[in-house]
Amino acid sequence: MSRIVFAIAISPLLFLYSTPVRWFGLASIPLLFTALTQRCGIYELMATNTCEKD
């Protein structure tokens, strides 16, 4: 949930600024994608699983 909120909070930087700050807005795209799909590509590359088993 916090990843979605942070992605939405920084996404306007992509459209409002033409300075290098705009690149921080680009970071919102993968953040939002990983939050919505509930998958992290870096964890898959490292073969890490953080799910708790019952």
pTM of the predicted model as reported, rounded to 2 decimal places: 0.66
Domain coverage including residue 8: 2-46
- Structural domain count of the chain: 1
Within a domain: residue 29? yes
9-39 as b/e: b if 16+ CB within 10 A: ebbebbeeeeeeeeeebeebeebbebbeeee
Within a domain: residue 26? yes
Within a domain: residue 54? no
Within a domain: residue 52? no
Instruction: Provide the pLDDT for residue 54.
Output: 61
Within a domain: residue 51? no
pLDDT digits (tens, 9 = 90+) for 1-54: 888 999 999 999 888 888 888 888 888 898 899 889 888 878 888 888 777 776
Instruction: Provide the pLDDT for residue 17.
Output: 84
Within a domain: residue 8? yes
Q: If we measure between CA atoms, which residue out of 33, 43, 39, 41 comes closest to residue 7?
A: 33
Within a domain: residue 33? yes
The CB density around residue 50, as the number of other CB atoms within 10 Å, is: 6
Instruction: Provide the pLDDT for residue 5.
Output: 92
Within a domain: residue 11? yes
Q: Tell me, what DSSP letter sits at residue 11?
A: T
